[in-house]
Amino acid sequence: MRTSGLNWQGLLEQLELALPFTESDDQSLAYFKFPKRTVSLSLPLKLDTGQTRMFRGYRTVHSITRGPAMGGVRYKEGLSQHECEVLAAIMTLKNAVADLPLGGAKGGISVDPQTLSAGELERLTRRYTSELIDVIGAQTDVLAPDVGTDEQIMAWMLDTYNENLGNTLSRVVVGKPVPLGGSLGSKEARGRGAAIVTERVLAESGETLENSSVVIHGYGDAGRASADYLAARGARIVAVADAGGASYASAGLELDALHSHRQATGSVLGFATPLSAEEALGLNADVLILAFDHGTIYAGNAASIRAPLVIEASNRAVLPEAERYLKAQGIVIVPDLIASVGGVISNYLEWVQDASNLFWTEDEIFAALDRRVNTAVDEVMAFAQARGTPDLRTAAYATSLDKLHGASVLRGVYP
């Protein structure tokens, strides 16, 4: 799975294409180009062997124009400051399109968490959090899970923050375990949102999920939640792929058995007809859901895509040069700003619950999530129709830029 090619230039080019459809101006876009703050960290870790190894860590706050920043922490080998800054900007756009009172942030550590023991991972997590004590907070910058991190890591971050400051504050971190103030349904939120968006987009073109063939590329929490939601509504999940490879069955995969297989073996490979992850991308299916990471579809593999509908359930999964090619082939791409919006909505709902100390049932969470996802899709589709944008990405970017511009104008510039 290729994940290179994430850069400011590609994002800004697409924003500039959206600008003529907005009420914003070049000055607003100029503000957008500069993150509010980036912290770069050197993180020493004492390994189980007694040796000390250094790691690089980062945390970027892109914008607080609409409210406190919120965004994921990723543990990924090769993570760079540039990657964090671009992804933080995308989080600003995504929170705006969801109409959440939040700005965007992103951070993490350049590390493959699979190479560390549990003790080493905990010590590195606590060191990273301790280094950020002065800049994170429930009303300033809220940490969330991302690639390579999970609710256990969020729990360590929460504990480290509160132990350092002598607090019991829970909403500085979201994506936590439920006993520590986490929200029910958070693991399913991004995938559920992507599935809802898939169903809505199909309906707009007069199609239904019934017997639609779906390929899911990336089978973590989000991929599995999308699969479960879509299968329950009659779709056939014909292939799923993860870092280890892919499994394919034209009649549809049996998802409960697939999940058990993945839990036992660590991969979906070996459950059904084996394919490489790249081969799964090129299957002739009705829908392709991208739930892995940025850069999954790039110039080098765009020509292999056969699905007429591509759902970008992870940030920047389709790179700009690939998107231009796919659009020319008549392939519809539903952009990350709406396809993966369920994740940021879930994080927001957890943050609100922690603030009020009032927690909702899973049914209440899903009802609120579904309503907000549908509202975001409605708004972007209505914007696209009213303004005549060439695609949904342009409409989503333009919607976000208008909201950010309005907030910026109201706030003014501090002298």
Given 121, 151, 173, which residue is the final one in a domain? 173
Active-site hit among 36, 106, 176, 403? 106
Domain contains 352: no
Indicate whether 206 and 116 sit together in one domain.
no
Indicate whether 273 and 326 sit together in one domain.
yes
Indicate whether 162 and 283 sit together in one domain.
no
Domain contains 179: no
Q: Each residue's pLDDT tens digit in the chain (415 positions)? A: 444 457 888 888 899 999 999 988 777 787 788 999 999 999 999 999 999 999 999 999 999 999 999 999 999 999 999 999 999 999 999 999 999 999 999 999 999 999 999 999 999 999 999 999 999 999 999 999 999 999 999 999 999 999 999 999 999 999 999 999 999 999 999 999 999 999 999 999 899 999 899 999 999 999 999 999 999 999 999 999 998 999 999 999 999 999 999 999 999 999 999 999 999 999 999 999 999 988 999 999 999 999 999 999 999 999 999 999 999 999 999 999 999 999 999 999 999 999 999 999 999 999 999 999 999 999 999 999 999 999 999 999 999 999 999 988 888 877 7
Indicate whether 115 and 259 sit together in one domain.
no
Please indicate whether residue 327 is annotated as part of the active site.
no
CATH code of the domain containing 57: 3.40.50.10860
Indicate whether 39 and 79 sit together in one domain.
yes
How far apart CA 362 and CA 186 sit, in angstroms, is 9
Residue type, 42: S
Report the residue count for the chain. Answer: 415
Q: Are 211 and 348 in contact (CB under 8 A)?
A: no
Indicate whether 84 and 204 sit together in one domain.
no
Domain that holds residue 55: 35-173
Given 173, 200, 223, which residue is the final one in a domain? 173
Strands 103-109 and 69-75: parallel
Tally of CB atoms within 10 A around 4: 11
Tally of CB atoms within 10 A around 294: 24
**Apex CA 186: angle with CA 182 and CA 190, to 5°?**
150
Domain contains 97: yes
Indicate whether 208 and 130 sit together in one domain.
no
Structural domain count of the chain: 2
Indicate whether 105 and 216 sit together in one domain.
no
Domain contains 26: no
CATH code of the domain containing 301: 3.40.50.720
Given 173, 199, 220, which residue is the final one in a domain? 173
How far apart CA 50 and CA 275 sit, in angstroms, is 41
Indicate whether 207 and 333 sit together in one domain.
yes
Rounded to two decimals, the pTM is 0.94
Indicate whether 131 and 56 sit together in one domain.
yes
| Assigned token pair, 137 | 């907070």
Closest CA to 347 of 363, 369, 329: 369
